[in-house]
Amino acid sequence: MTEELMKTHYYLGWFNNFFPEKLGKVLHKDINTRKSLVMISSNPSIYEDVGDTERSWFNQANIIFDEYHLINYRVKKEDAQLLIQNASVIFLLGGNTVKQNEFLIEYELSEIIKKSKAVVMGASAGATNMSAKWLCSKNFGYDVEESSVYEGIGLDDFSVLSHFDLENNMSMVQNELSALSKEINIYASNKDCAVRVKGNKIDIFGNVYLISNSIKQKLEETL
């Protein structure tokens, strides 16, 4: 298998306390280089306590890095790009999906992330922005009148709806994503979930649904 196919991406939901033990063990194996964890803010104008929760997940799983970096507006664009190029793990933080998307474009980070050999991970908003495209809709909590489709980084050719209350809103979610699901597969998940892409294999952790051609299907856990 080529190096390109062996790239590893984690599309996470949210974890209230820490990575579940089973997921932590898989991460331990996948993250075999631990020089630098680079986190990308989803609200780059806010500087305090950003990324603390996500960093604590790694600490709890005993995945410790030599260096920790947070990219926001305090970091110059060129420096941010260099940090990404040298990262062992790139983590797109949860929070404001739209602001993070705009920041990725402004700092020209998407192509550098795509070319990186690092393990790329995202939680909630970060997972959504890792995907090829995603739907921005007021029904998903965005402050917009008109729904629109945003381009994500495009690490893999599918869409992600991450960290959304599917349990009480599945009919709405299925209806809302119907049009997009006719052109691209959509993985929808809530808390304590992960979609892991390693090479050309997709693995599932927790309650994850595939919405394709307007039809939803609960996926079997494979991690």
Q: Using CA atoms in the order 151, 137, 53, 168, what is the torsion angle rounded to 10 degrees?
A: -130
Nearest CA among 152, 132, 116 for reference residue 3: 116
At residue 166, the pLDDT reads: 82
Nearest CA among 138, 122, 137 for reference residue 189: 122
- What average pLDDT does range 26-49 have in this prediction? 94
Residue with tokens 């970096």: 69
**DSSP for residue 64:** -
Residue 128 has pLDDT above 70, yes or no: yes
CB 169 within 8 A of CB 189: no
Q: Which residues 6+ apart lie within 8 Å of 109 measured at CB?
A: 40, 71, 80, 81, 84, 103
What is the rounded CA–CA span in Å between residue 123 and residue 162?
8
Q: How many helices (H) and strands (E) does the chain have?
A: 8, 13
Residue 115 has pLDDT above 60, yes or no: yes
What is the rounded CA–CA span in Å between residue 126 and residue 39?
10
Residue with tokens 């402050």: 143
pLDDT in tens, 1-31: 444 448 999 999 999 889 999 999 999 999 9
**Mean predicted lDDT score pLDDT of the chain:** 94
pLDDT in tens, 158-198: 999 998 888 888 899 999 999 999 999 999 999 999 999 99
Nearest CA among 36, 50, 117 for reference residue 83: 36
CB 109 within 8 A of CB 81: yes
DSSP element (H, E) containing 217? strand 215-218
pLDDT in tens, 56-89: 999 999 999 999 999 999 999 999 999 999 999 9
Best CATH choice for the domain 8-218 from the list 3.40.1410.10, 3.20.20.140, 3.40.50.150, 3.40.50.880: 3.40.50.880
For the chain, give the number of residues.
223
